[in-house]
Amino acid sequence: MQTDDTTAVSTTNTATPGLHPNRDWIRRAPAQDGVERIEAFFQRNGYALHRHDTYAIGRTLAGVQSFHYRHSVRNSLPGGTMVLHPDEAHDGQAGTDEGFRYRMIYVEPAVFQAALGGKPLPFIEGGLSDDPRLAHATQALLQGLDRALDPLEQDDALFDLAHALDAVSSARPVQRPRPSADFRAAQLARDYLHASLEQPVTLDELAAASGRDRWSLSRDFRTFFGTSPHRYLTMRRLDAARQSILRGIALVDAAAAAGFADQSHMTRHFVAAYGVTPSRWLRMLTADLR
């Protein structure tokens, strides 16, 4: 699953051996099977306000990690667990002058759906939890990036995390599936989107592919996968663009190959999803730590 290939990023850290002192940095393990893992340090501001369609689940290792989330400022301290729901806007900055260091995993909602079998997506009120069940369930996935996770180890850990989230979750009314909600139809629509990254897609096409009427499908998709069909397609295109950019393909060509109208179109969606521009993201990942 995860490989030993991690990328060190310079853009300000004082506490981690082997990394340039007084520099922000990120280490990123390649995404695999719907999961991406990072470790990072930021002295001041990390990311502008943004939202993505994955869960962001992690732990602050040192310092105070402050972020805006659901109309309030949250402060994550060592010992707790952060669980940011898909499509919820958030940012990230240091709560003190010392900066903060953290580890985070990003998990596609479909991964948890595979374990939960079509139940409502778990939701942690406020984005922070001190529940020991979550701390225990995240331990294997949040270990250092210097060790690759065995495939079965990762799958077992994701299963345990899905059920820990479900047990701790505070149910939101919008999350409760209607009796008529169709998980299979939502899955078929998702499969169609994965096969259509490079071409326009209409809701009518998704309805035909899933055997569901347009608006019921749209509601079901949000219920089971945490975001709209259009935004899900945009995020998968951004995933493809990031992979192209990492292979050295020019931004304009990466945008075209991923199905965006042009580079500006891709950049607008990139900033909204990740809080940084594609060029800044690339500079961070390829910075020379001399």
3-class SS shares of the chain: helix, strand, coil, % to 5 = 40, 20, 40
* Rounded Cα distance, 76 and 78, in Å: 7
CB-based burial, 52-61: b 16+ in 10 Å, e otherwise: bbbbbbbbbb
- Rounded Cα–Cα distance for residues 131 and 125 (Å): 12
Considering only the top CATH level, what class is 7-173? mainly beta
Query: Between these two residues, 5 and 151, which has the higher pLDDT value?
Result: 151
Confidence band for 188, pLDDT divided at 50, 70 and 90 = very high
Which has more pLDDT, 173 or 85?
A: 85
In angstroms, the CA 262 to CA 252 distance is: 7
Torsion of CA 44, 104, 26, 6, to 10 degrees: 170
Query: What sign for the dihedral angle of Cα 120, 125, 131, 134?
Result: positive
pTM score: 0.74
278 in Cβ contact with 267 (< 8 Å): yes
Q: How are strands ordered across the β-sheet holding 45-50?
A: 45-50, 90-94, 65-69, 72-76
Average pLDDT of the residues of the chain:
84
Report the range of poorest mean pLDDT among 32-36, 56-60, 101-105, 273-277.
Answer: 32-36
CATH among 1.10.10.10, 3.30.230.10, 3.40.1160.10, 1.10.10.60 for 231-286? 1.10.10.60
What is the pLDDT averaged over residues 33-48?
85
Helix, coil or strand: residue 121: coil
At 60 the three-state DSSP class reads strand
**How many residues are listed for the chain in this entry?**
290
pLDDT confidence of residue 146: 76
pLDDT of residue 287: 55
Please give the average per-residue pLDDT across 240-262, as a whole number: 93
Cβ(167)–Cβ(129) below 8 Å: no
Higher pLDDT, 8 or 140: 140
Query: What percentage of the chain carries pLDDT values higher than 90?
Result: 52
Q: pLDDT at position 22, please?
A: 55
In this predicted structure, the answer to whether residue 125 has a pLDDT above a threshold of 50 is yes
Which residue carries 């390829």 as its tokens? 286
Sequence spans of domains, the chain: 7-173, 177-226, 231-286
- State yes or no: pLDDT of 263 exceeds 70: yes
CA 78 to chain CA centroid, nearest Å: 21
